[in-house]
Structure 1
Amino acid sequence: MSNLEGQPAEVELPVDTDAAPCAELLEGRDVPLGRYTVVRRSLPNKSRRTVGAWCFLDHFGPEDVTGTPGMRVPPHPHIGLQTVSWLMSGEVRHRDSLGSDQVIVPGQLNIMTSGRGIAHSENSPTARPPILHGLQLWVALPEGERHRAPAFQHIADLPELADGGTRIIVAVGELEGARSPAEVHTELVGADVRLAGGADIAVRADFEHAVVVTEGVARVEGVQVAPGSLLYLGANRDRIRLEAEDGARLFLLGGVPFEEDLVMWWNFVGRSHEEIVEAREDWTRGADRFGVVPGGEEPLPAPGLPTTRLMPRPRYRR
């Protein structure tokens, strides 16, 4: 998915005390995604830039796309990241410059590794269910992996955990002994949790974690969380307590704190101003670096760069 803001800005961050357990409720902000879709963006946030290597989170829907084009995100570039697409309802067609052409449906995973450069599009198929609802996340690639060749994985069969009325699908990483086959390059976890009543989930204490609620209202470590918010939980926890009186659905994300300073601008995750400028110029002039997405859609033009120099930022202001 693309960041379609006309003037994407760097994110200033407050002082972080440490990665101790906490319960910090972060409100998402509404961002238009093309002409037809509005997303709620929880990461990057004015208070948090990353959770583990997770560096971007958009929650879209639930939206009735009957009689509308639905999602329309034309070909656009990425560097230095992985995209993780997760649906609760509906269908989205992914096409990329590697030749991948894959419709994703609920319970399945699309994960694309941009490496040194890739382009893709995401559109609602012509024949599709009426409701569109999902998450789009990015994972920052570490220094040793961010210049690798691009790749794409579609995973139709993901591991599940069940405990009473709680059902968990492990989309990325490992949780309570269940491991996703998705190829990732940092230690992290992403899991879809359908909650009925209460549950205690065992997690890694060296991970920092956060929870975004996608349906209903849940209490997470005693804090009420509704759709549109992200609850940051810090690190040094070995269990996370979840409760929902009338049922709820949420996505748990976490990972080892990502200590590399990042330059995040538009659809690029880099390490320097010069690197971002070069990627933008390559996309604008149609360089081979990003390839061509089949389908004949007009590529998304890059926005203008800010007038100030882009600076590498830590996950919090030191």
Structure 2
Amino acid sequence: MTNLDPRPDEQRCTAEPAPAGVELVPPRDVPLGGPRAMTVRRTLPSRGRSLVGPFCFADHYGPDDIAQTGGMDVPPHPHIGLQTVTWLFEGRVLHQDALGSVQTVEPGQLSLMTSGHGISHSEEGTLARFPQQGVLHGYQLWTALPEDARHGAQAFEHVADPPVVDVDGARVQVFLGSLAGATSPARAYSPLVAAQVDVPAGTTVRLPVDPAFEHGVLLDAGDLTVAGQPVEPAWLAYTGPGRDVLELRAGERDVRAVLIGGEPFGEQVLMWWNFVGRTHEEVVEARDQWQAAIAGDPVGVARFGTVPGHGGAPLPAPALPHVRLRPRE
């Protein structure tokens, strides 16, 4: 998924001090396009917290009636320095990328794209692609690639059946990393974890976690407390390193949540639009080369490739600000 903000802020992503208890991060509404566009609820990056482990971006969308909004139709757009993680609860999304990958992603399946030095892709969850589709609902996450991986090769992985484990009556689908004895086959470049956790009403779950990790619990639906702290739907509940058990308790309604986490990211990164870099010069170069790729310049195309299967025009990059990009405090 792309950031369609026409005037995106630059964002410093670095490991913030961990609070002693549970930190609550509210979502903000971000429309993905025009007046009938699907709206997402974004918790990362936020002014208070930019990273949870290597996770630097979290968009929660739906349940969205695509007959009313048109659904998700994101034309070819670029990425550098990250992995995109698509996880659905309802509906289907067609992923196409410059590697030639063409993959329909369905609920409970992982779509993982590694940008390396640069890649382009498109995402479609519309009635035109899926005439029987009524609702689209899920998460889009990004992880920042560490220095030793961010200039590497592009890749795409699809995991149709992530491992599932029962913990205290909760169903846990581990789609990245390892948790409670289950390990995803997907490749990760930093110590991390991501899992869907479904907790029946009235159930308390003591989830064993890595004490070296910080964690975020993204609540989709239900009545949830995290380590004793009530959490509102679409909010993120953050806990710092040092815990080997994370307690999740469901109230009167069943809970569906996504757990993300990892070792605190040891590198400061500069995010602007769809680019996760390190410096102003690097981001400017990536933007210029994407604009050149749109025009057919061989250098730009060599970096980002093309996505012919989408059929629409690529998404131009927003204008850069008239000042040097600086990490936002």
> Could you state the TM-score of these two structures normalised by the residue count of structure 2?
0.91
Q: Which residue pairs with 1:160 in the alignment?
A: 164
CA–CA distance in structure 1, aligned partners of residues 146 and 67 of structure 2: 41
CA–CA distance in structure 2, aligned partners of residues 67 and 41 of structure 1: 21
CA–CA distance in structure 2, aligned partners of residues 307 and 230 of structure 1: 33
Once the two structures are superposed, what CA deviation does each residue of 1:5-60 show, in whole Å capped at 9, x if it has no partner? 011002478994x4364211110100011232110000001101100000000000
Q: Which residue pairs with 2:220 in the alignment?
A: 214
Q: Which residue pairs with 1:234 in the alignment?
A: 240
Contact 1:261–1:312 (CA under 8 A) maintained in structure 2: no
CA–CA distance in structure 1, aligned partners of residues 19 and 243 of structure 2: 8
CA–CA distance in structure 1, aligned partners of residues 220 and 85 of structure 2: 16
CA–CA distance in structure 2, aligned partners of residues 157 and 291 of structure 1: 29
| Aligned residue among 289, 294, 297 for 2:308 | 294
| Aligned residue among 251, 274, 281 for 1:274 | 281
Contact 1:199–1:241 (CA under 8 A) maintained in structure 2: yes
Q: How many residues align?
A: 313
Q: Which residue pairs with 1:126 in the alignment?
A: 130
Alignment-mate amino acid for residue 24 of structure 2: L
Contact 1:20–1:236 (CA under 8 A) maintained in structure 2: no
CA–CA distance in structure 2, aligned partners of residues 195 and 86 of structure 1: 18
Q: Which residue pairs with 1:258 in the alignment?
A: 265
Contact 1:43–1:57 (CA under 8 A) maintained in structure 2: yes
Q: Which moved more, 1:217-226 or 1:258-267?
A: 217-226
| Aligned residue among 205, 215, 220 for 2:211 | 205
CA drift at 1:308: 2.1
Counterpart secondary structure, 1:275: helix
Q: Is the counterpart of residue 103 in structure 1 residue 117 in structure 2?
A: no
Alignment-mate amino acid for residue 6 of structure 2: G
CA drift at 1:67: 5.6
Contact 2:15–2:265 (CA under 8 A) maintained in structure 1: no
Q: Is the counterpart of residue 151 in structure 1 residue 155 in structure 2?
A: yes
Alignment-mate amino acid for residue 305 of structure 2: G
| Structure 2 gap segments, 5+ residues each | 294-299
CA–CA distance in structure 2, aligned partners of residues 153 and 51 of structure 1: 22
CA gap of 1:227–1:50, structure 2 versus 1, over 3 A, is same
Counterpart secondary structure, 1:242: strand
CA drift at 1:235: 1.1
Identity of aligned residues (%): 50
Alignment-mate amino acid for residue 272 of structure 1: T
Q: Is the counterpart of residue 4 in structure 1 residue 4 in structure 2?
A: yes
Q: Which residue pairs with 1:30 in the alignment?
A: 29
CA–CA distance in structure 1, aligned partners of residues 62 and 325 of structure 2: 32
CA drift at 1:176: 1.2
Once the two structures are superposed, what CA deviation does each residue of 1:106-164 show, in whole Å capped at 9, x if it has no partner? 01000000000000000013324311100000000000000001000011011001135
> Could you state the TM-score of these two structures normalised by the residue count of structure 1?
0.94
Contact 1:199–1:242 (CA under 8 A) maintained in structure 2: yes
CA drift at 1:198: 1.4
CA gap of 1:12–1:256, structure 2 versus 1, over 3 A, is closer
CA–CA distance in structure 2, aligned partners of residues 222 and 31 of structure 1: 30
Once the two structures are superposed, what CA deviation does each residue of 1:89-119 show, in whole Å capped at 9, x if it has no partner? 1100000011001010001000000000000
Q: CA RMSD in A?
A: 1.7
Q: Which residue pairs with 1:303 in the alignment?
A: 318
Runs of 4+ displaced beyond 4 Å: 12-16
| Structure 1 gap segments, 5+ residues each | none
